[in-house]
Amino acid sequence: MCGIIGVSNHEEAAKVAFLGLYALQHRGEEAAGIASYDGKDIHITKAVGLVADAFDERSLGALKGNVSIGHSRYSTTGSSNVKNVQPFLAMHRNKPLAVAHNGNLTNTETLYKRLEDEGAIFQTSMDSEIIVHLLARMKNGDIKDRFISVLSQLEGAFSLVLLVGDMIVGVRDPQGFRPLCLGKLGDGYILASETCALDLTKAEFVREIEAGEVVLITGNKIESFFLPEKPNRNKSFCIFENIYFARPDSNIFSDNVYQVRKRLGARLAREHPVKADFVMAIPDSGNYAALGYSQELNIPLEVAMIRNHYIGRTFIQPSQFMRDFRVRVKLNPIKTVLKDKKIIVIEDSIVRGTTSRSRVEELRKAGVKEIHMRISCPPIRFPCFYGIDFPSQSELIAANKSVKEIADFIKVDSLEYLSLEGMLSVVKASKDFCHACFSGRYPVPISTTQGKYLLETNKTTGS
Ligand code: AMP
């Protein structure tokens, strides 16, 4: 997953993009980059690491111009190296052409082969680079028709912010997998993955970019049009954004993430109640569902694990060693609260099961008597091909074990998941959501050769 931002018509466009990326840090902690354009020169800074570390006063000061785009990266296609940091920038007809992409294309291989046959030379292993190659091939003519002809060739998940000369372009794929919103800032506009970025930059929320919409922003002028709909395709907003990915203070898919998570917890309580001394969350991801669960059953909520805020999200670091280390160092249980208690532990989801297992082990060490774990979504049994790093089925614990076997692996006294119907019942327009990771019903066809490293050894990457 990734965070993307675009700023138009602001004299400190790059600084605004920096603040926006700061707010979007949770969407990707591997790398960050900002490109800006001053009408004459293009400026770009990219680095591996957190947003706060990737830029300093000097590098931000050098990013001149009143348009900029930025990206914070969590790789879902292509490995985590400097070459694959976005925005991806090229010069075309003396003008900059840069892309910041959130999501994964599903027809990468076909497009890649076609472009290579036409003589394209690729610099990265990111699927996002394909978009730049296609844009560079746009024929002359009406700008709207040109964008439609290029973007209609893409399949899968793509929320994009592009810098094309002095124009900023926002795009959301016709299924609308990933969020993208529009804000007004002074005399210009800002595009961002989530509304929390508007809050930090003091921009005023205008609206969400709709599924299939393209907005062209030049200065303070904005034009919008839609990509043609593909037959038999519904909207497919990613339900996992609501469960885990997005920030709770953001509004996405016409709803507030915090409220959705609380409703997931309340529904979970109705589906799988249990009597206990108290409810607690695995922080921070389980906090809001735990609140909903506790309020629904009138069972007290305790904050019995303290999070070390100087450590990032555990799954972001791709190697297993780093993940394990981060899992251990991140949370610390409070023994005096936990000793001899029967507790309900709420987690937003279980992916590999390693975090949950180690948390339970720590709770046991703290003297807990009984642990009843409740999960605010159904078992994740299928990989995601649209931008979340649920890679292969072999790594997904629920693809390989029954709920009872998972409970034994995690070593809890009981384990229950929210049902698919229950999960969908708490969001508005539930038929507009993608739930492929739970149901295996993929709304956009996927290729069997797809994968994070498709464009390495001559293959693809995403974000
Ligand atoms: P685990 O028990 O090891 O499966 O870790 C589960 C926690 O990691 C939950 O809070 C998940 O929501 C969170 N998580 C979110 N996305 C991912 C991911 N792509 N891979 C692994 N864990 C993730």
Question: What residue spans of 27-67 are helical by DSSP H?
Answer: 51-54, 57-62
* 3-236 carries CATH number 3.40.30.10: no
Q: Any catalytic annotation for residue 434? A: no
pLDDT at 462: 44
Ligand 1 mutation pick, 285, 315, 345, 390, max ligand atoms within 8 A of CB:
315
CATH class held by domain 259-433: alpha beta
pLDDT at 74: 84
- Ligand 1 atom 6: residue of nearest CA: 350
How much distance in Å is there from the Cα of 334 to the middle of ligand 1? 23
Q: Where exactly does CATH 3.40.50.2020 map onto the chain? A: 259-433
Has residue 38 got a pLDDT over 80? yes
Has residue 314 got a pLDDT over 90? no
Has residue 448 got a pLDDT over 90? no
Number of CB atoms found within 10 A of residue 419's CB: 16
Has residue 23 got a pLDDT over 60? yes
- Ligand 1 atom 19: residue of nearest CA: 389
How much distance in Å is there from the Cα of 278 to the middle of ligand 1? 24
CA 252 and chain centroid, separation: 12
How much distance in Å is there from the Cα of 349 to the middle of ligand 1? 7
Instruction: Find the residues whose C-beta lies inside 6 A of ligand 1.
Output: 244, 285, 315, 347-356, 388-390
Least confident of 182-191, 301-310, 394-403: 301-310
Percentage of the chain exceeding pLDDT 70: 91
**φ, ψ of residue 453 in degrees (nearest 5):** -105, 25
pTM, two decimals, is 0.92
How much distance in Å is there from the Cα of 205 to the middle of ligand 1? 30
Mean pLDDT for the stretch of residues 274-287: 96
pLDDT at 461: 42
Atom of ligand 1 nearest to the CA of 351: 4
Residue type present at position 146: R
pLDDT digits (tens, 9 = 90+) for 54-80: 999 999 999 999 999 999 998 766 566
CA distances for 19 relative to 12, 22, 71, 85, angstroms = 11, 5, 12, 18
Q: Where exactly does CATH 3.60.20.10 map onto the chain? A: 3-236
pLDDT at 392: 87
- 8 Å CB contact between 344 and 293: yes
pLDDT digits (tens, 9 = 90+) for 343-361: 999 999 999 999 899 999 9
Has residue 460 got a pLDDT over 50? no
Between 299 and 328, whose confidence is greater? 299
pLDDT at 115: 95
Q: Which two tokens stand for residue 99?
A: 């892309």
